[in-house]
């Protein structure tokens, strides 16, 4: 099956990044969200990102206009009816994901692959609400999508080899480097590696072993990481780190290592979710 038009469900940070990446690779894109303001904000963010590329001479204005012209923003679910593949990028809420995929399963052609951008949740469980679990796959991009090269391609219990192959081929056409996650485990590969080191950083801070600045410096200069754990959480969302860790605690036999530090819970309660709210572990409004 030739893929010409990609549907993206969600126009937030991940959704508009996926839409931009697909359009940059020459695909037509239908980006859908529940309200006009979310769609408009998503298109505005893409326009802003591309505008900087034009300013730096990395692309022409004509190329930018052509790319933007390949993205259709909408609030209508039925506008996804004729797409050739759908990538879902809604909130990390299992009930919400099941709801939208049940609707997509009834709306789209039976041969269309349905993909979820979930960073941690069970592919098999989400796929269970569809009549095509063999054509359901995890397609996990990383933030910021246009710049991060990795994509995790995750098998659900029934995901077919053909679906994996098509997903790999698409990822490469999008300019990404895919890896296959062979078993549908919570967090897949990257988050299973990343979340423990984020939590350990918070425990070090909470126990007053070192300041967040020094912990970030240690990770960057001692481990050669491009960002420290607190800088990274502020970029990707403090709340995301919390929700993923809570999910791990629930799914992985409530192991002690997955208990969220009190300081992390307090940050989420205070609304200090990172750059997107202007303050997280660091302040960005100064």
Is pLDDT at 115 greater than 80 in this prediction? yes
CA 215, CA 101: separation in Å to the nearest integer? 41
Active-site residue identified among 16, 45, 140, 243: 140
Active-site residue identified among 152, 231, 245, 260: 152
pLDDT of the residue at 236: 86
Q: Is 92 a catalytic residue?
A: no
DSSP letters of 55-92? HTTSS-HHHHHHHHHTEEEES-GGGGTT-SEEEE---S
Q: 192-277: which CATH topology?
A: 1.10.1040
Per-residue pLDDT tens over the stretch 193-208: 999 999 999 999 999 9
Q: Mean pLDDT across the stretch 55-70? A: 97
pLDDT of the residue at 253: 76
Lowest mean pLDDT among 3-12, 136-145, 197-206, 250-259: 250-259
Per-residue pLDDT tens over the stretch 226-258: 999 999 999 989 998 998 899 899 888 777 788
pLDDT of the residue at 251: 87
Q: Is 249 a catalytic residue?
A: no
Q: Quick one: CA dihedral 277, 92, 26, 73, positive or negative? A: negative
Active-site residue identified among 45, 167, 191, 260: 191
pTM of the model: 0.88
Q: 5-181: which CATH topology?
A: Rossmann fold (3.40.50)
Of 113, 251, 229, nearest to 184 (Cα)?
A: 251
Per-residue pLDDT tens over the stretch 205-227: 999 999 999 999 999 999 999 99
Q: Mean pLDDT across the stretch 166-191? A: 96
User: Count of alpha carbons within 13 Å of 237, Cβ hemisphere only?
Assistant: 17
Is pLDDT at 31 greater than 80 in this prediction? yes
Q: Is 117 a catalytic residue?
A: no
Q: Is 125 a catalytic residue?
A: no
Active-site residue identified among 119, 122, 167, 245: 119
pLDDT of the residue at 143: 87
Mean pLDDT of the chain: 96
pLDDT of the residue at 53: 95
Cβ proximity of 125 and 1 under 8 Å: no
Tokens 């505008």 found at: 51
Per-residue pLDDT tens over the stretch 161-178: 999 999 999 999 999 999
The domain segmentation of the chain, as residue ranges, is 5-181, 192-277
């Amino acid at each position: 099956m030739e893929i010409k038009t990609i549907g993206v469900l969600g126009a937030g940070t991940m959704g508009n990044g996926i839409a931009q990446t697909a359009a940059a690779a020459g695909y037509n894109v239908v980006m859908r969200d529940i309200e006009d303001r979310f769609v408009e904000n998503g298109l505005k963010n893409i326009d802003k990102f591309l505008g900087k590329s034009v300013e730096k001479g990395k692309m022409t204005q004509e190329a930018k206009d052509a790319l933007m012209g390949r993205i259709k923003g909408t609030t209508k679910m039925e506008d996804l009816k004729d797409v050739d593949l759908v990538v879902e990028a809604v909130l990390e809420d299992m009930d919400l994901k099941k709801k939208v995929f049940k609707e997509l399963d009834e709306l789209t052609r039976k041969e269309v692959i349905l993909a979820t951008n979930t960073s941690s949740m069970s592919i098999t469980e989400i796929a269970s609400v569809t009549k095509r679990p063999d054509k359901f796959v995890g397609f996990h991009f990383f933030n910021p999508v246009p710049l991060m090269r990795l994509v995790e391609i995750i098998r659900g219990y029934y995901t077919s080899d053909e679906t994996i192959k098509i997903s790999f081929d698409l990822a490469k056409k999008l300019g990404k480097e895919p890896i296959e996650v062979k078993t549908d485990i919570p967090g897949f590969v990257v988050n299973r590696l990343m979340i423990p080191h984020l939590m350990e950083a918070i425990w070090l801070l909470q126990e007053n072993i070192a300041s967040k600045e020094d912990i970030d410096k240690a990770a960057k200069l001692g481990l050669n990481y491009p960002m420290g754990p607190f800088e990274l959480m502020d970029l990707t969302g403090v709340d995301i780190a919390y929700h993923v860790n809570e999910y791990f605690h629930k799914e992985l036999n409530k192991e002690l290592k997955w208990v969220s530090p009190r300081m992390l819970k307090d940050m989420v309660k205070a609304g200090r979710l990172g750059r997107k709210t202007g303050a997280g572990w660091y302040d960005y409004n100064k």
